[in-house]
Chains A and B, each alone.
Chain A
Amino acid sequence: MKRRSWLLSGAAAGGALLVGWSVLPARSRLGNAALWPPAQGEVALNGWIKIATDGAVVLAMNRSEMGQGVHTALAMLVAEELDVPLARVRLQQAGHDAIFGSAESFVGFLPFHADDREPGQETLAFRGARWMTLKFARELGINITGGSASVADAWEPLRLAAATARARLLGVASLRWKLPVAELTVSDGVVSHASGPRAHYGNLVEQAALSPPGDVVLKERAAYRVIGRPAQRVDLAEKCDGRAVFGLDVRLPGMVYASVLQAPLLGGSLASVDADSALRQPGVERIVRLPPLGGAGAAIALVGRTTWHTREAARSLRVEWRAPPSGALDSKRIEAALEAAARDAADHERGFAFHSRGDSKAALAGAAKRFEALYRAPYLAHATMEPMNCTARVAGGRVEVWAPTQVPGLAREAAARVAGVARDAVTVHVTYLGGGFGRRLEVDFVAQAVRVALETAGRPVQLAWSREEDFRHDFYRPAAVALLRAGFDAGGGVVAFEAHSAADALEPRWMERALPALAGPVDAPDKTTVEGLYDLPYAIAHQRIAHVATSSGVPIGNWRSVGHSHNAFFAESFVDELAHAAGADPLKFRLDLLRHRPRHAAVLTLAAQKARWGRPLPPGRARGLALHESFGTIVAQVVEVSLADRRPRVHRVVCALDCGVIVHPQGVAQQVESSVVFGLSAALYGRIDIEGGVVRQQNFPDYPLLTLAQTPAIETHTVASALPPTGMGEPALPPLAPALANALFALTGRRLRELPLAPLLASI
């Protein structure tokens, strides 16, 4: 039996990506029946799949649904290999075993250049690092929904788990009917033979649980009936009738509500609080002082009968906050310091060089023409529609937590730490998330809720932030500055590219908060600071991409697409500048530098073709384009824009992409639409200002977001691919800002090097 051969299905000739898999026995990724809590009428065939006696399929769902469609995509993998309709798959929250942990998102942290990672041509160094990281990640078993990695993580194990289950069920039927497996067919979860016998999975599962699988074969792509086909999202109906339960919707008998007040100054602490008046308000029960917990600063919680009663009463709290000893933060000062650091790094070759090739200094010195530009991006808020919240109950030595979380295992750790219990004494229920975008990779709201629950005498308490608290106590997308340089040779070719950037390193800070066991005494270089700059696909012989990791004190975290969110704007705007300086068409200029990158060239060409690049537009309109790879997915976008009264109007965004094998086509389209709208809000309006240590933006009126009326037509075009799936949660976001800025340049002749763009246009 070719034990390992099934692992190569879907990867065609390469197989190179699966070095890691062949070291870890595949069965160890399947887990076993003991991972499931006992349930009547359901039989587990491995750690992922149960079959109910009525034939329903139960999938252990280890990822959080925050709109990205992961519940549906993962269920589709199982429906495919088990030959059941998607509607027959039921989801049950997975436990905390290591088999449910993340791996691809950790591989995503590896600082390898695109040259080393090209699928089918990976270098030995990358393969080795990837193997080590996968092994390490599998041991740790940390479960993160993020990094656009869920489908990539699930692609092998879920299909294998389902195919193994199917093989065992067929094996039982084969033995029972004394007919060869090869002659049995499965349709709709019913196994049958042409000569008559039929049985649905529920009739076979008890015996199947006792039998080994024998030969397991994953389906060929040509045989797919679910993967790659239209499918209705599994969460649709309940999101249209009010039944879907988000974190804020958890309702339990005897539950009380808590509002939170945090120091208006970032890093501030509590000096004194006079709660006499507040505690006398109707519906208010008690006040709880919260020390800094899980990344949150000092805070006060007011517990009462409803959210409203506690918010009302909070207004009569008399609180004195103490400023942090380091002084009040100021984003303008920070941004000026970032600019100085970037310039210094560029002029004196400082910073940590994440990528170096040739001799960029000499090449620039000898270049026929040189260009330099400074690019800037501000702090940004996540602004999920559902504000931060968590419900917790501490009773009888056990802790129960209901959280809209992207990190159930880390939430469990935080809850255990705060309550002073072993992690086995904690149960985490993951609800739907009203948006994540990386904000719910944090455990601050979980730690706060558990801390309050320690004082509510065993009653569950729902701790809910106001929108103002949410805006003012985010973990912001860091502000970043990059000084970019390029040189042309006498023939007009780009020979050198340098990027020297400065921004806070966010991953070490995130680790300190969420994964303290892994945080080291010294910050390791954080590749997310330069992702999108150091790994450009363009053929430029001499490069230096270096970064100065600053430490401003502003709470920062992962924001959808992380470093790519600003670096793509920097890089693709600058490449556009070079194209225009060379008198070249921006499309052709890029294609000339992508001769050795057929996948990138194909995506760019598709976007241009669908957008009718080069064809005339109505007067007053212009197009801009951008290409960017992130999280393994290549995306190109063409934006059509006009200006009226110095206000931009985006008419159309054409998006082409290569994300490997597509599991849920509508899901991919939804993520493109999502990224474009999210990206336009950020590109046009997004900025967080910190003045006197306080975040100025407090609620939606201060933080404009794109509305339905402003939304362009959005088109999604995909390149057919046989490579394993890569993510779509984030990759369509980074190219949006540069494509828009490039379009505005084509329209106005004015190069915009700072985000957000709308205020700059107002002064044209």
Chain B
Amino acid sequence: MNLTINERSVAIDDAQTDPRMPLLWLLRDVLQMTGTKFGCGVAACGACTVQVDGAAVRSCVTPLSVLQGKSIRTIEGLGGAAGPHPLQRAWVEHQVPQCGYCQSGMLMAAAALLEANRDPGDADIDAAIDNLCRCGSYPRVRSAIKAAARELAQRRRASRP
């Protein structure tokens, strides 16, 4: 099968995989894209969050069989040729990560949130970001999401004719 990952078409060797294989393990063990993390295997922690057609999806329980024709974005694709995503810039400026293991999932969940909601309030952030973090980065995640939302809004205003 072919999957679209970070805007590129990736040919998946059927001999290496299995339609039941969760996307997480395709990414990590077959494609060697280790940015997306394994935390629990039961969609409880969010470390494995990627975007599928923009929505935040937990890749540890998402089998390859449902992904045909969908567009997948991982942490490796969050920034672009033009530089880091405003979320990544905000993450650095607010010094969000500590151990960093949950952060790929946090960032992808935040990216999905900002694509669906340009100006999330606290309740929106509470509802959308239920990823687990053992290091206590939560307060800075919240601040960084708001900062990134502000930067994106500024960019939109700046690019209006």
Instruction: Please determine whether chains A and B interact with each other in the same assembly.
Output: yes
Known pairs A241-B75, A241-B88; A385 contacts B136 (CB<8 A): no
Q: Which of A241, A705, A707 has the most CB of B within 10 A?
A: A241
Contact with A along B83-119 (1 / 0, CB 8 A): 0100010011001111111111001000000000000
Known pairs A235-B97, A242-B75, A385-B102; A466 contacts B41 (CB<8 A): yes
Instruction: Tell which of A339-347, A597-605, A675-683 binds the partner.
Output: A675-683
Q: Say yes or no: B91 contacts A242, CB within 8 Å.
A: no
Q: Say yes or no: B101 contacts A674, CB within 8 Å.
A: no
Contact of A435 among B25, B92, B134 (CB under 8 A): B134
Known pairs A308-B25, A434-B37, A435-B99; A242 contacts B76 (CB<8 A): yes
CB contact list, B17-75 vs A, under 8 A:
18, 20-22, 25, 28-30, 32-42, 44-45, 47, 74-75
A233 to B35, CA, bound (A): 19
Contact of B18 among A65, A282, A701 (CB under 8 A): A282
Contact with B along A352-388 (1 / 0, CB 8 A): 0000000000000000000000000000000111110
Instruction: Tell which of A243-251, A517-525, A633-641 binds the partner.
Output: A243-251
Category for how many chain A residues contact B = 35 or more
Contact of A707 among B28, B99, B132, B139 (CB under 8 A): B132
Q: List 21 A-B contacts (CB under 8 A).
A: A66-B99, A69-B98, A240-B84, A240-B100, A242-B35, A246-B101, A305-B16, A306-B30, A307-B28, A307-B38, A434-B101, A434-B102, A666-B95, A673-B136, A677-B138, A699-B40, A700-B44, A708-B131, A708-B138, A709-B130, A711-B138
Query: Can you name 19 extra interface pairs (CB under 8 A) apart from A242-B36, A435-B134, A708-B141?
Result: A67-B97, A67-B98, A235-B100, A242-B33, A242-B35, A248-B34, A251-B32, A308-B29, A385-B37, A386-B37, A386-B99, A435-B101, A673-B137, A673-B138, A674-B135, A675-B136, A678-B135, A706-B138, A709-B126
Q: Say yes or no: A701 contacts B42, CB within 8 Å.
A: yes
Residues of B within 8 A of A245 (CB): 34
CB contact list, A49-87 vs B, under 8 A:
65-69
Is B149's CB within 8 Å of the partner chain A? no
A754 to B141, CA, bound (A): 32
A699 to B132, CA, bound (A): 12
Q: Say yes or no: A242 contacts B104, CB within 8 Å.
A: yes
**A-B pairs with CB below 8 Å: how many?**
181
Is B133's CB within 8 Å of the partner chain A? yes
Known pairs A66-B99, A243-B35, A434-B99; A308 contacts B104 (CB<8 A): no
Is A433's CB within 8 Å of the partner chain B? yes
Residues of A within 8 A of B42 (CB): 467, 699-701
Q: Say yes or no: B99 contacts A67, CB within 8 Å.
A: yes
A699 to B102, CA, bound (A): 16
Q: Say yes or no: A244 contacts B136, CB within 8 Å.
A: no
A53 to B42, CA, bound (A): 50
Is B79's CB within 8 Å of the partner chain A? yes
Is A221's CB within 8 Å of the partner chain B? no
Minimum distance in angstroms from A338 CB to a CB of chain B: 27
Contact of B95 among A233, A466, A700 (CB under 8 A): A233
Is A670's CB within 8 Å of the partner chain B? yes
Residues of A within 8 A of B30 (CB): 306
Is A551's CB within 8 Å of the partner chain B? no
Residues of B within 8 A of A646 (CB): none
Q: Say yes or no: B21 contacts A244, CB within 8 Å.
A: no
Q: Say yes or no: A437 contacts B134, CB within 8 Å.
A: yes
A244 to B33, CA, bound (A): 12
A68 to B135, CA, bound (A): 9
Give the nearest-CB partner of A681 in chain B. Answer: B134
Contact of B98 among A305, A386, A670, A701 (CB under 8 A): A670
Residues of A within 8 A of B104 (CB): 242
Contact of B142 among A242, A305, A705, A708 (CB under 8 A): A708
Is A257's CB within 8 Å of the partner chain B? yes
Residues of A within 8 A of B127 (CB): 709
A175 to B133, CA, bound (A): 55
Minimum distance in angstroms from A715 CB to a CB of chain B: 10
Q: Say yes or no: B132 contacts A705, CB within 8 Å.
A: yes
Is A475's CB within 8 Å of the partner chain B? no
A351 to B106, CA, bound (A): 48
Known pairs A433-B99, A434-B100, A435-B99; A240 contacts B88 (CB<8 A): yes
Residues of A within 8 A of B136 (CB): 670, 673-678, 711
Is A222's CB within 8 Å of the partner chain B? no
Residues of A within 8 A of B47 (CB): 385
Residues of B within 8 A of A69 (CB): 98
A466 to B38, CA, bound (A): 9
Q: Which of A306, A676, A705 has the most CB of B within 10 A?
A: A306
Q: Say yes or no: B22 contacts A308, CB within 8 Å.
A: yes
A245 to B22, CA, bound (A): 21
Minimum distance in angstroms from B101 CB to a CB of chain A: 3
A699 to B38, CA, bound (A): 13
Contact of B25 among A65, A238, A249, A307 (CB under 8 A): A307
Residues of A within 8 A of B29 (CB): 257, 305-308
A700 to B97, CA, bound (A): 21
Residues of B within 8 A of A386 (CB): 37, 39, 99, 101
Q: Which of A233, A433, A673, A709 has the most CB of B within 10 A?
A: A709
Contact with B along A405-435 (1 / 0, CB 8 A): 0000000000000000000000000001111
Q: Say yes or no: B132 contacts A700, CB within 8 Å.
A: yes
Q: Say yes or no: B141 contacts A239, CB within 8 Å.
A: no
Residues of A within 8 A of B97 (CB): 67, 233, 235-236, 239-240
